[in-house]
């Protein structure tokens, strides 16, 4: 297994989440910017090999399809994210890089109170209490 350094994984995972979010809302321009940035990170931070080439291929296909088939483009990025997770020291079954490694990033688990000047995140239980 090729190990992707944790800092590179974190940056790419964040870019993947941004691309997916913008692709799902038909924001092709921001989607493409996130994918192009991810491609630059891969070029500069990963050694030549299967992982790098597969990610690059996925990013190329995602950029090429976002205007006409945004759902397909998002799936290319999701596939890249799964590959990334499988090539890191992190357990990919844990579901991402959020605050709670046992929960997928797609599940909102915390919120930032805009009135709280400390910037602290608060955890809410299912019943809405903290």
103 is written with which tokens? 């929960």
13 is written with which tokens? 């995972």
* 40-98: pLDDT as tens digits: 999 999 999 999 999 999 999 999 999 999 999 999 999 999 999 998 755 444 444 44
User: What does the alpha-carbon distance between residue 41 and residue 56 come to, in Å, rounded to a whole number?
Assistant: 10
Is residue 9 predicted with pLDDT exceeding 90? yes
**Backbone angles phi and psi of 112, in degrees to 5:** -110, 125
Give the pLDDT mean for 114-127: 47
User: What does the alpha-carbon distance between residue 98 and residue 64 come to, in Å, rounded to a whole number?
Assistant: 29
The per-residue pLDDT for 87 is: 87
The per-residue pLDDT for 112 is: 44
Closest CA to 21 of 83, 73, 98, 99: 73
Name the fold adopted by 6-99: 1.20.120
* 14-43: pLDDT as tens digits: 999 999 999 999 999 999 999 999 999 999
Where residue 1 falls among pLDDT bands split at 50, 70, 90?
A: low
The per-residue pLDDT for 90 is: 52
Is residue 125 predicted with pLDDT exceeding 70? no
Is residue 106 predicted with pLDDT exceeding 70? no
User: What does the alpha-carbon distance between residue 77 and residue 114 come to, in Å, rounded to a whole number?
Assistant: 31
Q: Which residues pair with 112 in a beta bridge?
A: 121
Contacts with 64 (C-beta within 8 Å, 6 or more apart), sequence order: none
Is residue 130 predicted with pLDDT exceeding 50? no
């Amino acid at each position: 297994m090729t190990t992707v350094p944790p800092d590179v994984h974190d940056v790419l995972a964040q870019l993947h989440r941004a691309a997916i979010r913008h692709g799902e809302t038909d924001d092709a321009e921001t989607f493409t910017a996130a994918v192009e940035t991810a491609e630059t990170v891969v070029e500069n931070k990963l050694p030549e090999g299967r992982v790098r080439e597969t990610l690059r291929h996925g990013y190329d296909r995602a950029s090429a399809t976002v205007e006409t088939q945004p759902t397909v483009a998002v799936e290319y990025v999701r596939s890249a994210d799964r590959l990334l997770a499988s090539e890191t020291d992190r357990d990919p079954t844990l579901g991402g890089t959020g605050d709670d490694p046992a929960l997928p990033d797609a599940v909102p688990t915390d919120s930032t109170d805009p009135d709280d000047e400390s910037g602290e995140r608060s955890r809410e239980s299912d019943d809405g209490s903290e």
